[in-house]
Amino acid sequence: MAEIVLETRALTMRFGGVTAADNVNFRLRARELRCLIGPNGAGKSTFFKCVTGLQTPTEGQVYMRGHDTTHWMPHQIASLGVGIKMQTPSVMDNLTVHENIWLAARRFHPPEEANRKTAEMIERLALGPIARNALGQLAHGERQRVELGLVAVGDPWLVLLDEPAAGMSAEDVERMTGIIHELNKTAAIVIVEHDMQFIRSIAEVVTVFHQGAVLMEDHVDRVMADPQVRNVYLGKKA
């Protein structure tokens, strides 16, 4: 079996009285593609923030490729080769598409190489015609696409995407699916999503969060058919 690249042990995050992540034990192997689902407020984003160093968990540990990264800062974790997209879009709105992607590429490559990588990524994302436009002027779906480009251009071995398909057109989602599959040849990927159709199209193993804890972890077909999951997540009575 492939090496474990991401592991959390008894990860717990409390905000006052709210336990947003509750004793989460999570394991992800190299080149695995995992989807996280769960109703609003289930703790998916909190789990992401603890893993990426944006928040420090109240209890428990995070391991990445053998490093204990629990108390690391986001830039240290990203520097390991982890590509991160949080739930709310976060890009440099006053800079151009090209500059945004170049900055991401430059972190891991010398300038010339970064130029080449940026051009490639712009081509791959079909952003050519708007490459010199500032991001603030673009449509939501285009900005999402650029942010995916930022994540992918660093050649990460672990990719964490919190709701990447939110607000995207069908065409955008399709293009993104292609890129995710391509990334998945070299990287393990965790995707938080609400879009069931998208999850069915992409996922094999799905982890279900509910009230901060892992409710179930299984193949997508079995998860979707599970009465308990349907109950908490889909809001349908079994």
Partner 1 sequence: MQGSLSRDVIATVIVTAILLWIMPLLIGTYTLTVLVIYGMLGLSLGLIWGFGGILCFGQAAFFGLGAYTYAIAAINIGESTLPMILAVLVPAIFAALLGAMMFYGRLTDVYLGVITLVVTLILFKFMNSTAGPQYVIGNARMGGFNGIPGFQTLNVPGDPGAYIWGDAYFYVCAVALAIVFLLVSALLRSSFGRIAVGIRENETRMSLMGYDVRARKTVLFSTGAAIAGLAGALFANWGEIVTPNLFSLGQSAEIIIWCIVGGLGTRLGPILGAAGLAYVKFLLGQQHLIDNTLILGLILVLFVLFLPRGIVPALVSLWRISFGRRPLGRIHQARRSRNRERLHG
Ligand X SMILES: Nc1ncnc2c1ncn2[C@@H]1O[C@H](COP(=O)(O)OP(=O)(O)OP(=O)(O)O)[C@@H](O)[C@H]1O
Contact footprint for ligand X (CB under 6 A): 15, 18, 20, 38, 40-46, 87
Residue choice 99, 155, 217, 218 for contact with partner 1 (CB under 8 A): 99
In the block, tokens 């940026």 appear at 118
Residue choice 71, 107, 116, 222 for contact with partner 1 (CB under 8 A): 107
Please count the CA atoms within 13 angstroms of the CA of 133 that sit on its side-chain side: 13
Q: Is 61 in the site for Mg ion (CB under 5 A)?
A: no
Q: Is 45 in the site for Mg ion (CB under 5 A)?
A: yes
Residue 43 or 141 with smaller CB distance to ligand X: 43
In the block, tokens 């492939």 appear at 2
Give the C-alpha separation, 177 to 179, whole Å: 5
The DSSP code for 174 is H
Taking the complex as a whole, how short is the minimal distance between the CB of residue 93 and partner 1, in angstroms? 7
**What residue type is 115 in one-letter code?**
N
User: Cα-flanking dihedrals φ and ψ of residue 52, to 5°?
Assistant: -90, 0
Q: Is 166 in the site for partner 1 (CB under 8 A)?
A: no
Give the C-alpha separation, 107 to 170, whole Å: 31
Quickly count: other Cβ atoms within 10 Å of residue 173's Cβ. Answer: 19
Residue 90 or 186 with smaller CB distance to partner 1: 90
Residue 34 or 143 with smaller CB distance to partner 1: 143
The DSSP code for 134 is B
Residues that bind Mg ion (CB under 5 A): 45, 87
**Interacting residues with partner 1 (CB under 8 A):** 52, 54, 73-75, 78-79, 84, 86, 90-95, 99, 102-104, 106-108, 111, 136-137, 150, 154
